Amino acid sequence: MIYRFGKTITEGNATQQDLLGGKGANLAEMSSIGLPVPPGFTISTRVCAEYDKAGGHLSAGIMDDVKRSVAFLERETGKSFGSETNPLLVSVRSGAAVSMPGMMDTILNLGLTDRSRRGLEEASGSARFAHDACRRLINMFGDVVAGIAHERFEAAFDSIKKKYRAAADTDVGAEGMKELCDTYKAVYREAAHAAFPQDPYQQLQRAIEAVFRSWNAPRAVTYRQINGITGLLGTAVTVQAMVFGNLGEDSGSGVAFTRNPSTGENRFYGEFLINAQGEDVVAGIRTPRPLDQMRRWNKDCYDQLLRIKDILERHYRDLQDIEFTIERGTLYMLQTRSGKRTGAAAVQIAVDLANEGLIDRNEALRRVPAEDLTQLLLPSFAQTDKKSAKVLTIGLPASPGAATGLLAFSAEEAVRRGLDGTAVILVRKSTSPEDIDGMHHAVGILTSTGGMTSHAAVVARGWGKCCVVGAGAVEIDAQGRRLTIDGTTLTPNDTLSIDGSTGEVLLGEIKRSTPKLPSAFSTLMAWADSRRRLGVRTNADTPADAQRAREYGAEGIGLCRTEHMFFEGDRINDMRRMILAETKPQREKALKALLPYQRKDFVGILTAMKGLPVTIRLLDPPLHEFVPHDPKAQRELAKASGMSLKRIRQRVDALAEMNPMLGHRGCRLSVTYPEILQMQVTAITEATISCKRKRIDARPEIMIPLVGLRGELEYLRRLTEQTIEQVRKAKKYTGRLDIPIGTMIEVPRAALVAGSIAEVADFFSFGTNDLTQMTFGFSRDDINSFLPDYLEKKLLTTDPFQTIDESGVGELIRTACRLGRQTSSSLKLGICGEHGGDPASVHFFEKVGLDYVSCSPFRVPIARLVAAQATLGSP
Amino acid sequence: MIYRFGKTITEGNATQQDLLGGKGANLAEMSSIGLPVPPGFTISTRVCAEYDKAGGHLSAGIMDDVKRSVAFLERETGKSFGSETNPLLVSVRSGAAVSMPGMMDTILNLGLTDRSRRGLEEASGSARFAHDACRRLINMFGDVVAGIAHERFEAAFDSIKKKYRAAADTDVGAEGMKELCDTYKAVYREAAHAAFPQDPYQQLQRAIEAVFRSWNAPRAVTYRQINGITGLLGTAVTVQAMVFGNLGEDSGSGVAFTRNPSTGENRFYGEFLINAQGEDVVAGIRTPRPLDQMRRWNKDCYDQLLRIKDILERHYRDLQDIEFTIERGTLYMLQTRSGKRTGAAAVQIAVDLANEGLIDRNEALRRVPAEDLTQLLLPSFAQTDKKSAKVLTIGLPASPGAATGLLAFSAEEAVRRGLDGTAVILVRKSTSPEDIDGMHHAVGILTSTGGMTSHAAVVARGWGKCCVVGAGAVEIDAQGRRLTIDGTTLTPNDTLSIDGSTGEVLLGEIKRSTPKLPSAFSTLMAWADSRRRLGVRTNADTPADAQRAREYGAEGIGLCRTEHMFFEGDRINDMRRMILAETKPQREKALKALLPYQRKDFVGILTAMKGLPVTIRLLDPPLHEFVPHDPKAQRELAKASGMSLKRIRQRVDALAEMNPMLGHRGCRLSVTYPEILQMQVTAITEATISCKRKRIDARPEIMIPLVGLRGELEYLRRLTEQTIEQVRKAKKYTGRLDIPIGTMIEVPRAALVAGSIAEVADFFSFGTNDLTQMTFGFSRDDINSFLPDYLEKKLLTTDPFQTIDESGVGELIRTACRLGRQTSSSLKLGICGEHGGDPASVHFFEKVGLDYVSCSPFRVPIARLVAAQATLGSP
């Protein structure tokens, strides 16, 4: 139940964080390796669990054990708890396995009573020090144990300061401090309806109980819910002998990182204050000094600290975040823990530690949180500048990065001003494929509705373009070209900044930094590549994206969407003519006009990815997405196409669907209009032949979307093969033209009958976006009306569009893999949904044995790293 | 390869229809039981398959076998093929196991050449007869073998008739017939570029080949596709010695049913013609006489026919449809087959045959095609009246029955005129829940869009109300209150008739008959009930529907939807107030106003179904369906509710969803607005207590829709149980109140994790409509844009919304049953989707072991019968 640590005995070690909490376990560990740690003991989390179980009651034996442990501290320190001559004071701290805001933090100086205060005065030789310690205890104890508002103590302190004309706390002398102690006691008595306890053990017991109670305080419970922290027993309580950094000019306190946590540079990094306690270093009232100045102040201590730093790093084999105190020239270590670091530092440190031989390369790979790589790849706001900017509202962080620009309220405006060289942020209620061109020309995208997988979010992530969605507080008047957020109205020439990593919408311009990739990044990626089993491809629709993804290490394109290609320039008019055609010849004529565009697109992409596979998905979205919906655009189309406005409207109306996601799209389009497939396959085949004749190793794969029936794929595969053969003959091409033909598994039925679909497929690519939509019956465009409630009520722990739902959607994936491979052991299996770049999901895809994942270009490094981590498993 | 039948030898029998076709097998059967059948032989379907396989080539040995078989006929008849004195003539008929329009039917008199015609003249003693036989052969042979248009022969005949001033064919004498034969030969030569073949064996070979070819004629192929006929080898060819009913006043032909095929009455029923061939009886040129007049004409033959009728019924143990010919006083049987019959006759005959001891009760149950029961339950148009009515267009037969009425172009008009006592047909592009009241007051519903599972179709079927949907040719001008179909324009006071069983839209009024249920129906149903394992419940939302379903034998309500209840009268305003509420108190106030209505509804339904379970589904559809969408209704609501029009529009817009089917509906509503569930559960509980206090055995079950996560059901179950307890306390009720709480399995994920959902469910009810939508990714409202192509291209054999998709959706059902029962062996399993009343689907539900099916009231008898048939299996 209780684990002691000290010079004479140390029980427990760093691995026992579940039982001792992070603080307690690391103090025991430091103590056990001989570092100077003030002695202490930790009451384990089991006691907390029993306290809860007993309805908030500390079991009888515990306080006896505590007393025995205090006796241990007395032996170790030679001091005595509550003593009038040489009193032992202790700190009481909570500590769970995971650090958690909202729980009671710390009570210092516990054990001070009127009696022992006199002892402290005597031992320290300073009345002011003793009273200062005392008032701090009453304040902290009153606050966290008795629930007395901190402000009440604050007010009392202010009166004293006024009375003694003291500007700062430190200006209050011994007399003032004494008076303050009395005043605090009076405040305590009035608020708590009882005197401040004069029995040190009563103080201790009540402090321990307060820590345990704080485990179930609303803030702590909410924090655990939000962060999905489950399975913990409770919090531990660490009671440790106090040491004081504020006992004069030969005392001090400091905090340090064993390496630079921002850059990862291997240089000791920290700050210290003379004659101060640890809390003063972080409180920011006095300005601490850089650590290397410590050498001049106390070289012995500094050298000892350097040695300890090395010991700790070698021991923990990781960046440590440490706290220390020097009491009258003696160094004490008060804390060590794994240090938080930026993405760049994480990479640098992991690679350095491996090169230094402290960890092996596998461990280095495990050490870097994959998601943190985003920070290395995308621009971000300078934190200092951002702090001073006004946050107007916070939306959903749909696509990371940082963008600053003027405002465009329509796609057309974004294109126009973008081409003029103006950086604009496109602001829309939501986006649709009609807005693609405008989104492309904007530096960032902000929408007031939609979720993490809305159109804007998906497209932006694909491009690595900064995007914030679902910012409900943004009221947009697109007609009037202005927006209002909580009373602030902005017009086209106002500047807005959006942070795609946090969802923040900020007023004005904020400085941005675009990171340079350190060489450690390439080293780590190379290590990852040598270890991972999963292939990593990218989702890319343009040669530029393809090129970028290739630079990030993509081994092919797993999803090349063809629909975006039809929105550029004049093509959209031909596309619309094709859609509005009423007869097959009309449609074929329009398709013929589209063919050269498509061929050119494919030549570009196949060339950019030469030597690597390029999976091209045939037209997928409902045709309705391509036709103009506003009257003005309809009139323009009427003029351009020679069709009557009435007919255009009729056709647009006829194409509208109740549930377009479940409507006439995907391979269903090719079943009803085979000529669309024929045009696309012709373009792919002609592009391939054209590349091959230029000795470019083009390797297209044709992917037929939304198949749910074996017959669909069988029929369309035949049509595809026939078309390829026709083109080959027409082009008199005699070389090899092995174009694999496969399908997406994105309709639940496809997974269920995957065995028979596999008979006519060369590969499966899981379209987990649609598969998630249909398996849950959740429209990703409409999910925002209930998803927040689901997360809040813990009916879902994560958004299933971000992290794959293993038990439902995952079950379909497992089934499809099993059935597909039963039919054809050589069947290639990949995934090209949004989940392809999500770390937790990639672990799942490794587990089910997919051949590759495909994700947005910017997530390729993340996927490469996670794929390696998934192969390595836990150490 | 060839099976002979005759007095001396008979090979083959009635069970060999796959090999011999229906005709050939039954001729062999009749021959084998000693009935007077002209001898013949059947070339088996295997030969057809080989012919196809050989690329349309008859294998060498076959014609030798045919010649040997012709020799058999010569021996049996004492006639000689091609003889100049006593020639053998034969008929050549196709015959597959399933009768199939589009295949070559019949060539009579084959074997007639110039030479044998002289022999026939001699043998019959009639030159006219011989030439008549000859011209018929040339015509039929030319038509079906040489592909000469029938009109060319027709035109030649007309010239001859003109020349001989003959009004009818029969008025043409011997000389004219002789001339006609020559003319026909000339027509043949000119069209076929060859003389009419004078070798009887050449005639025979070419006729056989023509039959085989016709198996793959486009019409036959299409017919097989449409009717899902697969697995057949091909067609057989039956060659049979000719007998002639047109050899004078002692000859004749007739067709008969062994019982009345319309009513099932056990009375011999048929017609005959003296001096005529079989085709004349059905051709309608001369009026045939009723069969009982035959007694006076030739008592011996009549008595013999009666005996044969009894023999055939005893032998086949079923209604037979027979053809016979009397040649110079001798009776020959030319065909027997199971007779087509109406639904009423099917029931009557099956029950009679069982009572007569010809079949057992199980067989009687198997004999009645369940779907045919519809005819007994719903009104239908008098066939004679319908024939003379103008069919304006044909839509989809969404809900069977027949309706005639004036036209209403809006729900509001239908209500108004319906209340005035006018029978109106509601004509809409499509319907939505807003139209419910109008649909209810119309006698029939016609829509120009939508499929078999569109809103109009589903609602109408639930009510047993006649409905035709997807009648694309109907152009509706709702504003102008008129419609146009192919040039015919109709206004509100024009009369239209719609046939919900055929999809026909007819001009004007047509007489309808409402059937009375015969006592045989109750008998058959009782037999079915004693044999079936599956329970049969109904989907009913009103006391009236519940009562009707109970009369039809429903054993409970499997689906009581609560949404329809909110559209009546004033409730919709309270419902809208609830939806538009912006705060919880506002919403609770509106819900409070709805509570008494709901309670009253439930009291009514629970009372109607006393002693039987009533599964009440909590609110399911998206709230958007309840709010007004047209500006007028919005203005009215603004006035009634005191809300601003702007706010109403904002809220209506906010509720709109991209894919409402996958949106904020079902249990998701209760998760975000628990107070809706609380109101509904309060109403159910209060209604139950109120019934129980009146000693009415109310047995509600609460069904929570659209669950996909165990947590959803767990949370809402707890809320439901708490609410029940609160009501119980408030009402001070101390009796038993066991209200089972279960869920629909309609989201694929629910089926995949059914094991864990079952831990918190008392029952599962499969919602196969939604499950089909999500498993296929097919929106039932939008499927019409591609389903026709899918059926035509055979990618689907049936509409999966009508008949359950066993391999996909069925797999999820099997999985859910298995996992659910693993968790809880007592878990009750039912199905309440549209498939609950579909025969093929019910067979599947029996196979997977559901406890009950639930279907529309009018389909309850069908489900009862199919459930019995499913238990019985094949004999």
Q: Show the DSSP H helices in A238-388 as ranges.
A: 278-283, 294-297, 299-316, 343-355, 361-367, 374-377, 383-387
In a mutational test of the A interface, the residue from B230, B662, B759 whose CB has the highest number of chain A CBs within 10 Å is B662
> For residue A534, how far is the Cα from the chain centroid?
22
Q: What is the mean pLDDT of chain B?
A: 92
Of chain B, the percentage scoring pLDDT greater than 90 comes to: 70
Q: With beta carbons less than 8 A apart as the criterion, state whether A863 and A799 touch.
A: no
Q: Give the residue from B432, B584, B786 with the most A CB atoms within 10 Å of its CB, the best one to mutate.
A: B786
Q: Do B812 and A748 touch (CB under 8 A)?
A: yes
- Render pLDDT for B28-54 as a digit per residue (tens, 0 to 9): 999 999 999 999 999 999 999 999 998
> Tens of pLDDT along A566-599?
887 778 888 998 998 888 898 999 999 999 999 9
pLDDT of residue A20: 94
Q: Do B777 and A812 touch (CB under 8 A)?
A: no
Instruction: Report chain A residues whose CB lies below 8 A from the CB of B779.
Output: 657-663
Nearest CA in chain B to A655: B785
Q: What is the pTM of this model?
A: 0.85
User: Above 80 in pLDDT, residue B306?
Assistant: yes
pLDDT tens digits, one per residue of B325-379: 999 999 999 999 998 888 899 999 999 999 999 999 999 999 999 988 988 888 8
pLDDT in tens, B773-798: 999 999 988 888 899 899 888 899 88
Is the Cβ pair A770, B782 closer than 8 Å? no
Q: Which of residues 471-490 of A touch B (CB under 8 A)?
A: none
Contact A706 B777 (CB under 8 A): yes
Per DSSP (E only), the strands in B96-191 are 106-110
Q: Which of B746, B776, B796 sits opposite A747 (nearest CB)?
A: B776
| Structure-token pair, residue B310 | 């009894």
Tell me the helix, strand and coil percentages in chain A, rounded to 5: 50, 15, 35
With contacts defined as CB-CB under 8 Å, which chain B residues touch A776?
Answer: 708, 747, 749
Contact residues, B window 666-705, toward A, CB-based 8 Å cutoff:
668, 671-672
Q: Is B517 exposed, middle or buried (0-12, 13-18, 19+ CB in 10 A)?
A: middle
- Given the residues A455, A564, A624, A835, the one annotated as active site: A455
Q: Does B706 touch chain A (CB under 8 A)?
A: yes
Please determine, for residue A453, whether its predicted confidence score (pLDDT) is greater than 80.
no
Instruction: Answer whether A24's CB lies under 8 Å from A37's CB.
Output: no
Contacts of residue B786 in chain A, CB cutoff 8 Å? 664, 668, 671-672
From A751's Cα to the closest Cα of chain B, the distance in A is 9
Listed by number, the residues of chain B in 849-868 with a beta carbon closer than 8 Å to a beta carbon of chain A are: none
Chain B positions in Cβ-Cβ contact with residue A771 (cut-off 8 Å): none
pLDDT digits (tens, 9 = 90+) for A485-536: 988 999 999 999 999 988 999 999 999 887 788 899 999 999 999 999 999 9
- Interchain proximity A659–B709, CB inside 8 Å: no
Determine the Cα–Cα distance for residues A36 and A307; give it in Å rounded to an integer: 12
Which of A616-630, A744-758, B676-690 shows the lowest mean pLDDT across its residues?
Answer: A616-630
| Positive or negative: CA dihedral B404, B406, B410, B411 | negative
Q: Which residues of A touch B770 (CB under 8 A)?
A: 777
C-alpha–C-alpha distance, residues A502 and B805, integer Å: 46
Smallest CA-to-CA distance from A69 within A26, A160, A8 is with A8
Checking phi first, is residue B497 left (phi over 0); if not, alpha (psi -120 to 50) or beta?
beta
**Cross-chain CB nearest to B711 (options A785, A795, A808):** A795
Name the residue facing B774 among A777, A782, A795 (closest C-beta). A777
Cβ A91 vs Cβ A242: under 8 Å: yes
What's residue B220's pLDDT?
Answer: 82
Could you tell me if A347 and A521 are in contact, meaning their C-beta atoms sit under 8 angstroms apart? yes
A600 pLDDT band (50/70/90 cuts)? very high
Q: What angle do CA B684, B687, B693 make, to 5 degrees?
A: 140
Q: What pLDDT score was predicted for residue A457? A: 84
A chain contacts of residue B752, beta-carbon cutoff 8 Å: 775, 807-808, 811-812
The model's confidence at residue A305, banded by pLDDT at 50, 70 and 90, is very high
A795 → closest Cβ in B671, B773, B774: B671
Number of Cβ within 10 Å of residue B251's Cβ equals 22
CA B541 to chain centre: 26
Residue among A301, A832, A843, A855 flagged as catalytic: A832
Instruction: Check A659 against B664: CB less than 8 A apart.
Output: no
Partners of A42 in beta bridges: A3, A238
Cα distance between residue B409 and residue B426, in whole Å: 6
- Give the sheet arrangement for strand A391-394, strand by strand: A391-394, A504-507, A496-499, A402-408, A424-428, A444-447, A466-469, A396-399
Residue A171 DSSP symbol: G
Contacts of A712 in chain B (CB under 8 A): 795
Report CB contact under 8 Å: A662, B663: no
The residue in chain B having the minimum alpha-carbon distance to the alpha carbon of residue A713 is B795
Q: Min CA distance, A228 vs chain B (Å)?
A: 15
Mean pLDDT on A647-670: 91
First to last CA, chain B: 29
pLDDT > 80? residue B124? yes
Q: Which residues on chain B are in Cβ contact (under 8 Å) with A663?
A: 779, 782, 785
pLDDT per position as a tens digit, B451-473: 776 788 878 887 788 999 989 88
Report how far residue B502's alpha carbon sits from residue B468's, in angstroms, rounded to the nearest whole number.
9
Mean predicted lDDT score pLDDT of chain A = 92
Residue B508, by phi and psi: left (phi above 0), alpha (psi -120 to 50) or beta? left
When pLDDT is averaged across residues B846-856 and rounded to a whole number, the result is 97
The DSSP code for B10 is: B
Q: How far is B855 from chain A (nearest CA, A)?
A: 24
Q: Note whether B814 contacts A: Cβ–Cβ < 8 A.
A: no
User: CB under 8 Å to A203, separation ≥6 — which residues?
Assistant: A110, A111, A113, A141, A197
Contact A318, A367 (CB under 8 A): yes
Instruction: Find residues 26-55 of chain A whose CB sits inside 8 Å of chain B.
Output: none
Q: Are B111 and B81 in contact (CB under 8 A)?
A: yes
Rg of chain A taking only CA atoms, in angstroms: 33
* Cβ-contact A559, A859 below 8 angstroms: no
> Mean of the pLDDT values across residues B264-274?
93
Which two structure tokens, joined as six digits, stand for B632?
């007028």
Q: Which residues contact A532 (CB under 8 A, 6 or more apart)?
A: A864, A867, A868, A870, A871
Across the interface, of A706, A715, A807, the residue whose CB is closest to B793 is: A715
Q: Are A782 and B662 an interchain contact pair (Cβ–Cβ within 8 Å)?
A: yes
Phi, psi of A701 (to 5 degrees): -130, 140
A748 touches chain B (CB under 8 A): yes
Q: How far is A714 from chain B (nearest CA, A)?
A: 9
Residue pointed to by tokens 């809390």: A279
Beta carbons of A752 and B790 less than 8 Å apart: no
Chain A residues close to B748, C-beta within 8 Å: 748, 774-775, 777, 808, 812
**CB-based contact A749 B657, cutoff 8 Å:** no
> Long-range contacts: B594-598, Cβ < 8 Å, 24+?
B594/B566, B594/B679, B595/B679, B595/B682, B595/B683, B597/B565, B597/B571, B598/B562, B598/B565, B598/B679, B598/B680, B598/B683, B598/B684, B598/B687
**Pick from A747, A786, A807: which is nearest to B668 by CB?**
A786
CA atoms within 13 A on the CB side of A11: 13
Band of pLDDT at residue B273, cut at 50, 70 and 90? very high
Beta-carbon count within 10 A of B101 CB: 8
Kindly list the catalytic residues of B.
455, 832
From the list A375, A861, A850, the residue with the least C-alpha distance to A871 is: A850
Q: Is the Cβ pair A659, B662 closer than 8 Å?
A: yes
Residues 754-773 of A with CB under 8 A from B: 756, 770, 773
Residue B715 with chain A: CB contacts under 8 Å: 793, 795
Rounded-to-integer distance, Cα B50 and Cα B46, Å? 6
Question: Residue B663 — pLDDT band, cuts 50, 70, 90?
Answer: very high
Enumerate residues 6+ apart whose C-beta is below 8 A from B508: B389, B390, B495, B496, B497
Give yes or no for A664 touching B (CB within 8 A). yes
The verdict on A632 touching B (C-beta cutoff 8 Å) is: no
Residue B167 has a CB neighbour count (10 Å cut-off) of 8
A802 touches chain B (CB under 8 A): no
- CB neighbour class for B802 (10 Å; exposed up to 12, middle 13-18, buried from 19): middle
A665: closest chain B residue by CA? B786
* Closest Cα in chain A to B797: A711
ipTM value: 0.84
Is A777 in the B-facing interface, judged by CB distances under 8 Å? yes
The distance of A852 to chain B (nearest Cα, Å) reads 25
